[in-house]
Every structure is written in C-alpha cells, then in structure tokens.
Chains A and B, each alone.
Chain A
Amino acid sequence: MNMRRTVGLGCGLVGAIGWIGAADAAEQITFVSQGGAYQQAQTVAILDPSAKKLGITINQDSIPDAWPAIKTQVGSGKPIWDVVDTPTGYCLRGGEQGLIEKLDFSKIPNAAAMPEAYRSPYSVSYEFYSSVLAYSQKTFPKDGPNSWADFWDVKKFPGRRALRNHPIATLEAALMADGVAPDKLYPLDVDRAFKKLEEIKPNITVWWTSGAQSAQLLNDGEVDMEMAWNGRVSAVAKEGAKVTFTYNQGILQSTSLCILKGAPNLETAVKFINEAVDPVHQANLPLNIDYGPGNPKAFETSVIKPERAAQLPSEPANAAKQALMSYAWWSSPSGEAAEKRWAAFMQK
C-alpha cells in the first residue's frame, strides 16, 4: 500500500516535470496583476491578444499587493514571476533596491511616444486611475464640492467625509486645499500637508482602507463626500446610487509594468511589455473597465469613442485638470519618511 502510493507520487512528479519541460519549449512568461474584474478586463483587452500576436503563453497569477511578494521572491534568488502590474512607486522603489530589472527601451518602441513622466528606467505606465473628490447628489443636488478647498470647507459644504487611510494622494489633496497649484506640488511640503490635514481630521468620519469600503461608504450614505478612485465611484453610480465625482484636482495615478530582477523569461518579458503598451491593445482596456490607457496614443486609434474618452482619467483634457502623481518623489527617502509619519498622525 505504502509502496504503491510512493510509486504513484513518483509518476506524478515525473509527469509534472515532463509537463514543465514541454511548456518550456514554447516561449512563456508569468504575468501578475491584482485580480478581480480588473485582471479579467485586461485579459480580454491586452493579455490574450498579446499572447496570440507574439505566439507566447502568458501564465497569470494575481495578488492584491505584489510588493511583499516581489521582495521575498527576488530575495530568495529564484523568482518565478516575470512581469508584474503594480503601482508605479513599487517599480521605482524596487529598481532602487535591486529587485527590478532596468528596461532596455530600444526594445520597447511602443513606449517611445509616451510622455517622459509616464516612464522610468524600470517601468512603463500600463493604465491610469485617479483619486478624485466624489460626493452624494442626494446631499448636494447641485453645486457640489468641486475642489479640495471645498472638501476642507465644512461651513459651505456641511456633511460627513471620508479619506483614504494612506498618505499617498491624501497629502497631495491637502496641499491643493491649501492653495498649492496641481503642477507645483513636488517636492511635497510634508509639514504643510499634515498641518492642513489636522484641520480636517475632526470632520473625517471614516478613514477607509480598501476600495470596496470606499464604494460602500458612499453607496450607503454613510458619508456625503470622500476621496475615492474614479472606477469605484462610477461602478456605484452605474448601480443606481446618486453619486458623482469631479476630475478637477484629481490625483492621476498609474500602475506600471516592470520585470522582476532575475526573471526566468527576461527576453520574452520585454517583448510582452512592448506588446502590452501597443496603442490598440491599450485602447481596448477602457472598453472593458473604467481605467484609462497608460499609452496616450491609444486615444488616437479611434477605438475609444469620444463620449467614452471623456469619462477616462488619462484622456488629455481630463489629465490636464489633475495633478500627476510623482512616484519618484514617493519612493525617495522624504516620501518614505512621509509614509511613516502617517501612522503617527492617525493615532494622535
């Protein structure tokens, strides 16, 4: 009995090794994103078409927060992932800590036309979302809050408020509320931002920690206005909640593609990245989900209808109203110090 089980296990192992060997013959990569509706949308719009065009196999994995896993995998010396789609800041920080490969842009011609700010030596913007000011149209049927100064103005706009329990984008909003122009934010004046946040703190009912929570707060009428991600607000609005948001003074954020240091399929990974930022694939993404393409060239492909484009955070006119987040600043020592200061601020 015991013997038979051992033999069976052995056969299974041999089979598995044979299978891995066979798959190895064709080019393949392991791609990691954040799962859920978002990863489904990009599978349809970008991953499947790219795999077909390049004749490669794209194995998918998903994790809500890739950063600890990137650190552990590369630290172990044998990463199993190749390409990750993760907030741009992690690509930069990872690059500085030797966890992310430097990209050879001569092999990524599709990124050539992208604005300088959308790229880094380690990463290419993949999609855009925005931290916007959202509010209930029940509380504010007309003339709702339209800027962070309005959000801070509890006399003119009475109501309950929520902010994200995280310094990224929140400090930017505080500075804009204090009168800093969206294109003059960086380097962030951290002291000034926290001082401004102290002002609004007593009026914040909830400091949310997940996107789902932010959507639910607005949907249930638990808060009247909050900072939230545009896609979450539009999803709630589509389901019939009387909520809306403004791109005015939104904070434009992106996830980027980057490659783990020592990735098993480096060559194929670079080929894939080039294909993934192809304008047509990129233009297909917003047809499936409320995120904007990482490559602005996508707006010139005529795949995205003008009405649809107007709803997207990275559409040029919308982008112009917003502040573009500097991930370079956030991954710098001052950025990291600001992140640590957040915990103390929350518990004071």
Chain B
Amino acid sequence: MLALVSPALLVILALIVLPVGWLAWQSIYHDGFTLENYRRVFTEDIYWRSFALTFEISLAVTVIALLLGYPVAYLANSVPKGWSILILSLVVLPFWTSVLVRAYAWLALLQRTGVINQFLRYLDVISEPLALVHNTLGTVVATVHILLPFMVLPLYATMQKIPGDLMQAGASLGASPSLTFFRVFLPLSLPGVLAGCTMVFVLCLGFYITPELLGGGRTVMVSMLVSRNVELYNQFGAASAVAVVLLASVLVIFFIVSRFISLDRVLGQK
C-alpha cells in the first residue's frame, strides 16, 4: 500500500509540504530566531486593517454569491436535463476565461466612460457618471462574478441528490409549494450552501489581481500586503508571516466547517 502511494506522497512533499515549510521557516528565522514578523502582523494597524477588510469583502462576496447562486442552482435542478446543461454551461463558461481578462472586462463595463455609465447617461437616469469601479464596490462585483461557479456547482450537486419524492410527499400532505420549499427542500440543501459558502469565502480570502486592478489602490487585501512586502520592501519574512496567518485562518475555517459537514463534500468529492 505504502509503495503504491509513495509517488503521490513524494509529489505532495515536494510541491506542498516543502514550500509551505520553507515559507513558515522564513517567517520566524532571519539571522536568528525571531517573532518580530508576527509581532508586526498582530500589532501594526495596516495589517489589522487589511485582514479586517479582506474578511469583510469575503463575507460580502459570499452572501451575494449565495443570493445569486441559489436561484440559479435551483432552476438548473428543476428544469429538464437539456436546459440544466445549458444553464450550467453558462455558469461555467466564464470560468475558462482568464481572471485578468475578466477584471479588465469589468473595468470596461464599470468605469466612468464605461458601458454602464454611458447607458445610464443616455437614458438620462444620471447626469454625472457613478463611481462604480476603483473602489470596494468594483472589487466586490468582479469577485462575485469570478467566484460564482464555486457557489453554484456544489449547490447543484447537493440539490440533485434531494429525492423529488419528498416534495411530492409534502404536496400530497397538503403543503403549499413554498411551505415544502422552506420545510423540506431548503434544509436538505443546507450542506450544499455550507460547502459553496466555504469555497467562495476561502478563495476570496486570497484574491489578488481583482482588487489590485479594480480597487483603485485603496482596497488593500491581505494578498496585496504579501506582494507589497516582497516587491516594495523586499521583506520576505514579513510576507511569509502574513501568508502563514492567512493559511492558518483558512485551516481554522475548514476545521470549523468540518464539524458540521464532511470536508469531502466541500471539496466536491461526494
């Protein structure tokens, strides 16, 4: 058994354990053992602000993605097979486009002379262009778009496994469609909700390109702190400490989620 899995273990060791270990090592060792990098991460204002902002944005993105994704998954689940394939393709299609391209596309849509502002001005709804981008709003909009498939797919997978008979049984006992939805369907789909939310939230925590391009320089998320520390200040130690704290927060989230549902489900195995 060990002989069979050892190539896989080697790959994991070389590609994951060693780099992450090296990362963690750099954060505590610089000409001797030091906790200076962590002291800064936990006491300096800018780090707190970035972590707080990152969690706020991730939360907002998750909630919006859930509100948008749930009806889509529900629809895909309740229409005939052909239609559901079409709906899911529409969800997954943007997934194959580069994140960079999508960020620029949103820029073209949202900026002052962009499609949306031009159109609203043409309709005389507004007289001055709205500030839709180069701020937190633009970042959230584009991030939701990019992460939506991660919400819809686990939701759809969960909904697929809810037996249709249960709904019929509810109806036969005299419950209205909305009552069966809220009492039967919704509770049964909750593992999918949790799985989707975890995926979206965790992925959002590490977002980099989107806030960099659409945040106008003020939306400084944690991953941007990592890059600034390396590029601007050449402090690999500080960058590693930030990365380790981010990684730890993700692990904590996964641990908490695993108390409620099987992690295989979140990662799409079952």
What distance in Å separates the Cβ of A316 from its nearest Cβ neighbour in chain B? 33
Give the CA-CA distance A344 to B225 in the complex, in Å: 11
Q: Are A68 and B234 in contact (CB under 8 A)?
A: yes
Q: Closest residue to A167 on the B side, CB-wise?
A: B232
Residue among B213, B231, B232 having the largest count of chain A Cβ atoms under 10 Å: B232
| A220 surroundings in chain B (CB, below 8 A) | 111-113
Q: Mark A221-260, 1 if CB is under 8 A from B, else 0.
A: 1100000000000000000000000000000000000000
Q: Mark A84-106, 1 if CB is under 8 A from B, else 0.
A: 00000000000000000000000
What distance in Å separates the Cβ of B260 from its nearest Cβ neighbour in chain A? 34
Residues from 312 to 348 in A contacting B, C-beta threshold 8 Å: 339-340, 343-344, 346-347
B interface SS class: loop
| B131 surroundings in chain A (CB, below 8 A) | 205
Q: Are B212 and A346 in contact (CB under 8 A)?
A: no
Q: Are B113 and A347 in contact (CB under 8 A)?
A: no
Residue among A220, A222, A339 having the largest count of chain B Cβ atoms under 10 Å: A222
User: Is B17 an interface residue, CB under 8 A from the partner?
Assistant: no
**Given contacts A220-B111, A222-B112, A347-B49, A340 and B217 within 8 Å (CB-CB):** no
| B218 surroundings in chain A (CB, below 8 A) | 207, 346-347
User: Is B216 an interface residue, CB under 8 A from the partner?
Assistant: yes
Q: Closest residue to A64 on the B side, CB-wise?
A: B231
Q: Mark A154-173, 1 if CB is under 8 A from B, else 0.
A: 00000010000110000000
Q: Mark A138-162, 1 if CB is under 8 A from B, else 0.
A: 0000000000000000000000100
| B245 surroundings in chain A (CB, below 8 A) | none
Q: Are B134 and A222 in contact (CB under 8 A)?
A: yes
What distance in Å separates the Cβ of B43 from its nearest Cβ neighbour in chain A? 13
Q: Are B217 and A209 in contact (CB under 8 A)?
A: yes
Q: Size band of the A side of the interface?
A: 20 to 34
Q: Are B217 and A207 in contact (CB under 8 A)?
A: yes
Q: Mark B214-225, 1 if CB is under 8 A from A, else 0.
A: 001110100001
What distance in Å separates the Cβ of A241 from its nearest Cβ neighbour in chain B? 12
| B212 surroundings in chain A (CB, below 8 A) | 209
Q: Are B233 and A339 in contact (CB under 8 A)?
A: yes
Residues from 95 to 121 in B contacting A, C-beta threshold 8 Å: 111-113
Residue among A213, A344, A347 having the largest count of chain B Cβ atoms under 10 Å: A347
User: Is B63 an interface residue, CB under 8 A from the partner?
Assistant: no
Q: Mark B34-63, 1 if CB is under 8 A from A, else 0.
A: 000000000001100110000000000000
Q: Are B46 and A343 in contact (CB under 8 A)?
A: yes
Q: Are B217 and A346 in contact (CB under 8 A)?
A: yes
Q: Are A346 and B231 in contact (CB under 8 A)?
A: no
Residues from 119 to 178 in B contacting A, C-beta threshold 8 Å: 131, 134
Give the CA-CA distance A256 to B232 in the complex, in Å: 18
User: Is A67 an interface residue, CB under 8 A from the partner?
Assistant: yes
User: Is A208 an interface residue, CB under 8 A from the partner?
Assistant: yes
User: Is B228 an interface residue, CB under 8 A from the partner?
Assistant: yes
What distance in Å separates the Cβ of A198 from its nearest Cβ neighbour in chain B? 14
User: Is A206 an interface residue, CB under 8 A from the partner?
Assistant: yes
Q: Are A339 and B217 in contact (CB under 8 A)?
A: no
User: Is A267 an interface residue, CB under 8 A from the partner?
Assistant: no
Q: Are A65 and B231 in contact (CB under 8 A)?
A: yes
User: Is A71 an interface residue, CB under 8 A from the partner?
Assistant: yes
Q: Which of B111, B216, B231 contacts A68 (CB 8 A)?
A: B231
User: Is B230 an interface residue, CB under 8 A from the partner?
Assistant: yes
What distance in Å separates the Cβ of B47 from its nearest Cβ neighbour in chain A? 9
Give the CA-CA distance A344 to B44 in the complex, in Å: 9
**Given contacts A209-B217, A346-B217, A340 and B113 within 8 Å (CB-CB):** no
Q: Are A208 and B46 in contact (CB under 8 A)?
A: no
Nearest 4 CB-CB pairings of A with B: A207-B217, A165-B217, A206-B216, A206-B134
Partner-B contacts on A (CB < 8 A): 65, 67-68, 71, 160, 165-166, 205-209, 213, 220-222, 339-340, 343-344, 346-347
> What would be 16 A-B contacts, judged by CB atoms less than 8 Å apart?
A68-B230, A68-B231, A205-B131, A206-B217, A207-B216, A208-B217, A209-B212, A209-B217, A220-B112, A222-B134, A343-B46, A343-B225, A343-B228, A343-B232, A346-B218, A347-B49
